[in-house]
Every structure is written in structure tokens, then in C-alpha cells.
Amino acid sequence: MLKPKTAAFAPCAFVGRIFRPGFLLLVILFAVPLVSFAEEFTVIKVFNGDTIQVKGQDTPFTVRLAGIDAPELSAKKSEEAQPFGREARTYLENLILNKRVSIKGYGEKSYGLMWGEVFLGDRNVSLEMLRAGYAAVYLEKSPKELDLSRYYPDQKEAKAAKKGIWALGNNYVSPAQWRKRRKTKRSIAALLYGILHQGGNTE
């Protein structure tokens, strides 16, 4: 039976119900911040430089690496990937794909996506991405329990050494800015398409 190393789980809301171990695992990780499981998960997919899919107790789920923001990949063939987006994913794949990891959960980021610090042995994977220059400290809303002060020194060192994304110098754009620009471009493209489509139907 899985036993969290930190935080307590109160099952009062689930009294009288029977769950598979994998489901209970998800309930704990998504609902209870600061809960940790040691060596219980295998990384089965790396989506990009900060999002992975893991499997534990035959239950797969998606984890967003807490504390960092990696360069964006293109969601569509017509869109450009952010510089170092593919390199960041490849680095993370080489680091943890098909390996056993521990997770310190920080609750749900969005539906079906969990915030988590992932550990390969005693190595914090988020910090490894920062040190390699394939991620920056996350600038948007992070879990309140997460101490980001531990992350900035590694980013500072990578930036000084011009590793990865920091080799771009003044041309560097944060992932948050990139997402905002991409959203604006999509909105403009949709507007133009609507105008042209409407114009084509006029007589």
C-alpha cells in the first residue's frame, strides 16, 4: 500500500466507497498539496520540456513540473516552435523517460494536470532543466506552497554561462510571452478568416 511521506489524507468524503489503489493515488496527489510518493512512478511520455506523463499502480496521469517554464513547442504544423523547445524536450526525455521517479505533488493546476516536483533519485528534475538552460523560473501563478527562492540561483548561473535559452541574449522571449503572442496571432488569423469567409459569401 502506498504511504505518503508528508501530509495526511482524510478519507471522510469517501467513506463507504471502494476505489482501486490507482484511483486513490490520484485523489491524494490532486487534492492534497505537499504529498510525496517515493519511487512509485515510471515516466512513460515527455510532452515538452516541462510536462510529462507518468504511470503508477497502472494509472497514468500528467504532471506539470513545478517551478519552471520550458520553451513552447508548436501545437500546429503551421505554427513555429519556440527556440530551444525541441532541445528542451529531448533533454528531458534523455533524463527521465522510462525511468522511475518520485513526485512531490502540489495539487491540481488545471483539469487533469497536476503540479509536481519530480525527483530522479535525489535530483530535482526542475532544477536540472534550469541548470541546463532549457527552462526558466515560472513567472505566472505557482502553487503557494512552492518555494521559488530555491530556483533562482540555478537560473542565474545558467544565464551567466549563456546555456540553452540564455544564448539568445536580447532575442530571448519568455514562454509566457510566447504563449501570449501566439494567442494574439491565432485571434487575428481567426478574425481575418471570418472576414474573408464572410466576404466570399456576399453577392
The pLDDT profile of the chain, 203 residues, written as one tens digit per residue, is 343 343 333 333 333 333 344 555 665 565 555 556 655 799 999 999 999 999 987 788 899 999 999 999 987 776 888 999 999 999 999 999 999 999 998 888 876 789 999 999 999 999 999 999 999 999 988 888 899 999 999 999 999 999 999 999 999 999 999 888 877 766 665 666 677 767 555 55
pLDDT attached to residue 59: 82
Alpha-carbon gap, residue 5 to 65, rounded angstroms:
19
Judged by DSSP in three states, 56 sits in strand
pLDDT attached to residue 21: 45
Judged by DSSP in three states, 23 sits in helix
pLDDT attached to residue 184: 76
With cell 466507497, the residue in question is 17
- Closest-CA residue to 107 (of 136, 70, 55, 144): 144
Alpha-carbon gap, residue 125 to 117, rounded angstroms:
7
Count CB-CB contacts under 10 A for residue 17.
Answer: 8
pLDDT attached to residue 187: 66
* Average pLDDT of the chain to the nearest whole number: 81
pLDDT attached to residue 115: 92
pLDDT attached to residue 97: 98
59-72 exposure pattern, b = at least 16 Cβ within 10 A, e = fewer: bebbbbbbbbbbbb
With cell 510566447, the residue in question is 178
Taking the CA atoms of 39, 50, 172 and 94 in sequence, report the sign of the dihedral they define: positive
Alpha-carbon gap, residue 109 to 115, rounded angstroms:
6
pLDDT attached to residue 15: 34
β-strand 59-65 against 113-120: which pairing, if any? Answer: parallel
pLDDT attached to residue 102: 92
CATH of 11-200, one of 2.40.50.90, 3.40.50.720, 2.102.10.10, 3.60.110.10: 2.40.50.90
Beta-carbon-side half-sphere exposure of residue 198 (alpha carbons within 13 Å): 6
Type and span of the H or E element at 65: strand 59-65
